[in-house]
Amino acid sequence: MHVVVCVKMVPDTTQVSINPETNTLVRDGVPFITNPYDTNAVEEGIRFKDKYGAYVTVISMGPPSATAVLRKGLAIGADEGILLSDRVFGGADTLATSMVLAAAIVKIDKTRPVDIILCGKQTIDGDTAQVGPGIAQRMNISQLTLVNEVLSVDEVKKSIKVKRKLENYEEIVESVLPTMITVEREINTPRYPTVPGRFVAEDSVIQIWGNDVLKLNVQEIGLNGSPTKVSKIFAPVRDKGEIVMGEGEQQPKAITAIFDKLVEKSFLELK
Amino acid sequence: MTGIERIIFATIFIAAILFFLKNVFRLFAILCLGKWENRFDHLWLRLGNLIKYGFGQKRVVAKPFGINHFFIFWSFMTLTIVYVEFLIGGMFPKFNLRFLGDIPYGIILSVADVMSLVAIVAILIAVTRRTFFRKKSISANFEAYFIPSLIAILMVAYFVSNSCEASLGNLEFIKWQPVTASLAAYWNGTDPHTIHLISRSAWWIHAVVLLFFLNYLPYSKHLHILASLPNCFFKSDTLVSTVPLKQLKKGEDLGISKVVQFTWKDILDFMACTECGRCQDVCPVSQTGKVLNPKGIIHECKLNIFKNGDVIRASRPKDMLASAPLNAKMQIPLVNGSELSVDKEALWGCTTCGACMEACPVFIEHAPKIVQMRQHLVMEKSDFPHELITFFEASEQRFNPWGIAPTDRIKWAMDLKVPLLSDVKQAEYLFFTGCAGSFDSRARRSTNAFARILNQSGISWASLGNEEKCCGDSQRKLGNEYVFNKLAVDNIATFKKYGVKKIITQCPHCFNTLKNDYKQYGIELEVIHHTQLINTLIAEGKIKVKQSDDNKTVFHDSCYIGRYNRILDEPRDILKACNGHSPLEMAKNKTNSFCCGAGGGRMWMDELPGKRIYHERTLQALDTKASTIAVSCPYCMTMFEDGLKEEKNPGQVKVRDIAELVADTMIV
C-alpha cells in the first residue's frame, strides 16, 4: 500500500494580525507551522503504515523553507518527503495548486503506485477545502471528504470504507482505491515525535521537484494559472460590547449600570 | 576451649569471612555496572558530611524514634571492636586487646558492656514500635523481626557467656564490666561444670549468630549497614539535585530505560535504602493515596539491579568490574512488567517537590531518577499521559504552556509602564515574568502588582517583553529534555544579547531553572526571587508599606523556593512588615512544606486517582483559621484557588501573592 499525504506550511494564524491601514497580513516574526488538519492527515497515513505496512510519502508545495513541515512528517514515521518548489508555482490559488500536486502524485504513482491520497479537510489560512477535491478531480479518482474515521480497508478487493462527518448526520461510504481522502481533526490525535525520530528526519534527504521535473504548462500553474485574485484583505469591523464589572464597593454601582442599560434597551421595564 | 573446638571455629570463621568478601565483591561489581559519575570532589566537605550525617546521624535523630536507631548504631560501632577481639580469640585464645594498655582496654570493655545493654533496650523499643505503634510506611514483614531478634540473641549470648565466665572468676577486668558483674551473681550456687557448659554454648551461639549476621546483611535491607555511610559521604554537594544535562545526540541514551543506565551513585542509593519509610510519610503523592511511593521506587530499582546485575555478571565472568555494555539485555524491565519493575503511573505521579530527598536520612536522590526514567518514556517512546501532548506542542511552537501567541506575552502589562530591554537596551535587573505571570489571568494581577512595586522602588529594571520564552521547568521535569534544551538555549542567547546579569523572577519554577538548571550551560546568573527583592526594598526603605494589624494570614512555602533554595525568612519578614504579625504557620512548613501538587509538570496533567493534593493542602491551610493564604508562586496560587472552590468558599478566604499584599499596602 502506498499513501501520499499532502501537507501545507501555513502561518500560525493565531499570531497573524491585519494591518488596518494597508489591509495586508502582518507576518513579521510569525512562525510557520504545519496546517493543523494536515497533521491529522499525516498521522492517519502513519496509521496505515502501522496497520497495513503502507509506504508513506509526504509532499508539499511551497518555498524551500517548507521542508520543515515535511521533516515533521518524517519525524513521526513517513518514509519519504518531496517538496514541490519553483518560482513558477508561486502565487497559486486552489486550482493551480491542485494542478501541481496532482501532477506530482501522478509522477510518484509511476514509480510506486499510489493507493490513498490524504489531505487535511482545509487549511487554516485559506479555509477553502478545495485543494483535496481538486487533486481527485484532476486525477480522475474518487474523493472521500470530511472523513472522521477510517472503518476498514480491503487490500484484496482494493477498497476502503470510511465515515464522513456531515452537518447533521454521519454517513458511511465505501470506495475503490485509489481514492483521495480529506480528514477532520477528530479523526485522530497526532502522535508526538520521538527524539530518535527527529534525528532521522533531520538526516533525511528531501527531494525538491521544480517545474523542470513536472514539466507543466506555465500558463496553467502559479499566478498565471490562478483565476482567483485577492483584491483586498480586511478584518471585519465588529462592534464590541461593553463589559460592566464591579467588585466590593463598586458592586452596587455596576448592578445599577446594568439595570439602566437593560431599561434603556427596553429589555426591562421599571414600574 | 579445646583444640577441636578451635579447629571447627577456625573453619567456620574462614568460610564465613570468605563468603562475606565474596558478597562484598558482588556488591562492588554491581556498583561498577553503573555509569561513571564524579563524586570524588570536595573530599573534606564529604568527610564532614560523613561525620555529621553518617556517624552523627543528624537526619536520623530528626525524628523521635531515630534516637533509638542512634543507640543501636553506636552500640554496633563500639561493639565491633570487642567482636573482632572475640572472633580472633576464638582461634587464638591468648589474643586480646590488652596490649593497648590496661586502662584503654578497661574502657573498651566497659563501653561494650554498657552498650550491649543499651542495644537490648533499643531493640525491645524497636520491636514494640513495629508491633504496636507501626506507621503504615514501615513494613512488619519477616525481616522486620528477624534482624532485631538476631541482634538481641547476640547481646543476650554475650551477657550469658561473660557472666558465666565472671562467676567462674575467669574475667580479670570484671570491675570494668558493671552489667556483666551484676549478672554474674545469678550463677551463684550453680555447678561450675554446668556454668562452663552454658558459657561455651552461649559463646558458640554468639559466634555463629555473629558470622551469620555478617553474611545475611548483603541479602537484606540491612545492607544499609554497609552502604549508608558511603552514601552520606558521596551525597550531592548541592542543595538541589538537578538532572544531569543530556547530550541530545544520535546513539546517546535518551533517559533511562535499563537499570544499568543509572550511575554507580544511583545504585549505591538503592543499596543504602533501609525502607524506613520517611520519604513515603512526607510524599504528597503517597499521602493522598496514589500509586507513587518513593520508597517503593528505590526498592524496586534495588531488586532490579540485583537481578539484572547478576545475569550480566554471569554472562562475562572474566570482566567483573566493568560497566554494563550499552546493548546489555535486561532480564527484567525497569519500568512496568514485573514485581521488580517501577510502575509507570508512579513515575508520572511525582511532583518533584523534593520532600522525600529532604527527609531521607541517607540522602537518596529520588527525583532525578524519576525524571530520567520519564525522559526515556517521552523522548524515546513518546509514551506519556495524553493530556501532555498539547502542552509539549504549545511549548515547542508558541514557547509557553498555554499555547497563546507569543506576541501576546507582554499584554500582562496592560496600561502599566513597563520598560522593555529592546528599547532601553540596558537595565540593572531583568524581570523575567514567566509564562504564568504573562498568560494566566489571575497570575497577571500579581505580575502587575509586582511591576508597580518595581516602578515605585525606582530601581533600574526591564522586561524582555515578547522576546521571553518559557524557562522550560515543567518540560524538563516531565522528561522532555529536547524541548527544555531548545527553550534554555534561546533564553540564554537573549540574556547574552542584552548582557543580562541579574534576573528577578516571581515564579519559583523560573527561579530554580534559571539559577540551577541554566548553570549547566555555563551561564552564571544572579537570580533573585521577588520575595527576596521586596524584602530588601522594604528593609532599605525604597518602598514603604502602611502596616496593618492582621494576624490571620497564613504563608505557604512553595517547594522550589523553600525546600529547594532555602528562601524561608524573606517572605515571612515581608508579611510581618505588612501585617504587623508573623504569618500563621501550617504544621507542615518551611523545608517540610507540603507541595500544592503542581510541580514536576503535574500542573499540566489530570489528577491521578486518590485524593487531590491541592485540596489536601488547602485543608491544611484552612485548619489555621486564616482568612488569607499568602503564596509566592503562581502555580501554588492556582492550586489553592481550586482547592477553595471545592470547599465552596465564596470569597471568604483569599489567596494572594505576596507582591499583591505589598502593593496593596504600599505608600505611593
Nearest residue in A to B480, CA atom: A195
ipTM score of the complex? 0.88
CB of A183 within 8 A of CB of A168? Answer: no
Report the sign of the C-alpha dihedral through residues B17, B19, B25, B30, in that order.
negative
Last residue of a domain, one of B225, B240, B269: B225
Neighbouring residues of B132: CB distance < 8 A, sequence distance ≥ 6: none
* CA B368, B371, B377, B382 torsion-angle sign: negative
Q: Do B398 and A12 touch (CB under 8 A)?
A: yes
**Does any CB of chain B come closer than 8 Å to the CB of residue A194?**
yes
Residue A219 C-alpha cell reads as 500558463
Q: Is A33 helix (H, G, I), strand (E, B) or coil?
A: strand
Same domain, B149 and B200: yes
Low pLDDT (below 50) residues in chain A:
none
B60, B140: one domain:
yes
- Are residues A198 and B397, on separate chains, in Cβ contact within 8 Å? no
Yes or no, beta carbons of B405 and A12 under 8 Å apart = yes
DSSP B21: H
Q: Does residue B237 fall inside a structural domain?
A: no
Look at the block and give the residue holding cell 590488652: B98
pLDDT of B133 higher than 90:
no
CATH number of the domain that B66 lies in? 1.20.950
Chains A, B: CB contacts under 8 A, how many? Answer: 37
Q: Considering the domain boundaries, does residue B49 fall inside one?
A: yes
Range list of β-strands (E), B213-276: none
B412 and B330 within one domain: no
Tell me, yes or no, whether B417 and B343 share the same domain. no
Q: Which residue of B has its CA nearest to A201?
A: B250
Torsion angle (degrees, nearest 10) of CA B369, B375, B377, B379 = -170
pLDDT value for B94: 86
Tell me if chain B has a CB within 8 Å of the CB of A23: no
Could you tell me if B352 and B460 lie in one domain? Answer: no
From residue B411, give the alpha-carbon distance in Å to each of A72, B57, B407, B435, B440. 31, 53, 8, 12, 11
More confident residue, B240 or B658: B658
Segment B278-297 shows an average pLDDT of 96
Instruction: Report yes or no on B251 lying in a domain.
Output: no
Using the Cβ of A245 and the Cβ atoms of chain B, whether some distance falls under 8 Å is answered with no
- Copy the grid coordinates of residue B156: 543476650
The whole-angstrom distance between B478's CA and the closest CA on chain A is 14
Look at residues B329, B349, B380 and tell me which one is the last residue of a structural domain. Answer: B380
Rg (CA), chain B: 30
Mutation target for B interface from A42, A195, A199: give the one with most B CBs within 10 A: A195
CB of A30 within 8 Å of a chain B CB? The answer is yes
What's the CA gap between B279 and B284, in Å, rounded?
10
Q: Do residue B402 and residue B425 come from a single domain? A: yes
Paired with B461 in beta bridges are B429
Q: Does residue A29 or residue B510 have the better pLDDT?
A: B510
A83/chain B closest Cα distance in angstroms: 22
Counting the structural domains of chain B, the total is: 3
Q: Which chain A residues contact residue B465 at CB under 8 A?
A: none
Look at A199 and B405 and tell me if their CB atoms are within 8 Å: no
Question: Residue B544 above 90 pLDDT?
Answer: yes
Q: Which residues of B touch A196 (CB under 8 A)?
A: 250, 254, 379-380
Same domain, residue pair B445 and B488: yes
Map residue A4 onto helix, strand or coil.
strand
Residues of B in contact with A194 (CB under 8 A): 379-382
One domain for residues B358 and B482: no
DSSP-assigned states of every residue in B401-470: TT---GGGGGGGGTTS---BHHHH---SEEEE--HHHHH-HHHHHHHHHHHHHHHHHT--EEE-GGG---
Asked if residue B406 and residue B366 are part of one domain, the reply reads no
- Residue contact A194–B393, C-beta within 8 A: no
Minimal Cα–Cα distance from A174 to chain B, Å? 31
For residue A23, what pLDDT is reported? 67
Q: According to DSSP H, which parts of B224-273 are helical?
A: 224-233, 264-272
Q: Which residues of B touch A69 (CB under 8 A)?
A: none
Walk me through the domains of chain A, giving residue ranges and CATH numbers: 2-214 (3.40.50.620), 239-271 (no CATH)
A194 to B381: CB separation less than 8 angstroms, yes or no: yes
Residue B514 lies in a domain: yes
pLDDT given for residue B18 in this prediction: 97
Q: Contact B398/A29, CB-based, under 8 Å? A: no
**Which residue of B379, B397, B405 is in closest CB contact with A195?**
B379
B45 in any annotated domain: yes
Is residue B27 located within the same domain as residue B64? yes
Residue B113 CA to residue B106 CA, distance in Å, equals 10
Query: How far apart (Å, rounded) are the C-alpha atoms in residues B115 and B129?
Result: 20
Selection from B434, B440, B511 nearest residue B469 by Cα: B434
Q: What is the pLDDT of residue B237?
A: 87
Measured between CA atoms, the residue of chain B closest to residue A14 is B405
Q: Is residue B486 part of a domain?
A: yes
- Nearest chain B residue to A30 by CA distance is B407
Cα atoms in the 13 Å half-sphere on the side-chain side of B568? 11
Burial state string for B576-592 with b = 16 or more CB within 10 A and e = fewer than 16: bbbbeeebbebebbebb
Whole-number average pLDDT of chain B: 94
**A31/B379 CB distance under 8 A:** no
- E strand or H helix that includes residue A59: strand A55-61
- Residue with C-alpha cell 525481616? B143
Dist. CA B260–CA B204, nearest whole Å: 42
Q: How far apart are CA B24 and CA B35, in angstroms?
A: 19
- Closest chain B C-alpha to A68 CA, distance in angstroms: 13
Nearest Cα residue to A177 out of A161, A159, A162, A165: A159
Nearest chain B residue to A76, by CA: B382
Q: Is B316 helix (H, G, I), strand (E, B) or coil?
A: coil
Mean pLDDT of B650-659: 91
Domain assignment present for B242: no
Nearest to B100 by CA among B170, B42, B173, B36: B173
CB distance B658 to B583 below 8 Å: no
**Per-residue pLDDT tens for B303-347?**
999 999 999 999 988 888 889 988 888 999 999 989 999 999 999
Confidence at B588, pLDDT banded by 50, 70, 90: very high
Q: Cβ of A19 under 8 Å from any chain B Cβ? A: no
For B75, counting Cβ atoms within 10 Å of its Cβ (0-12 exposed, 13-18 middle, 19+ buried), the class is buried
Q: Which residue matches cell numbers 557467656?
A: B161
Question: For residue B244, is it within any domain?
Answer: no
Least reliable range by pLDDT among B182-191, B245-254, B507-516:
B245-254
Within this chain, do residues B202 and B337 fall inside the same structural domain, yes or no? no
| Chain B residues touching chain A at CB-CB below 8 Å | 248, 250, 254, 379-382, 384, 386, 389, 392-393, 397-398, 404-407, 482
8-state DSSP, B545: B
Residues B326 and B421 occupy one common structural domain = no
Q: Among B329, B345, B380, give the residue marking a domain's end.
A: B380
A23 vs chain B: nearest CA distance in angstroms?
Answer: 19
Task: Give the pLDDT confidence score for residue B54 in this predicted structure.
Answer: 96
Residue-number span of the structural domain to which B66 is assigned: 3-33+40-225
> Are A195 and B393 in contact (CB < 8 Å)?
no
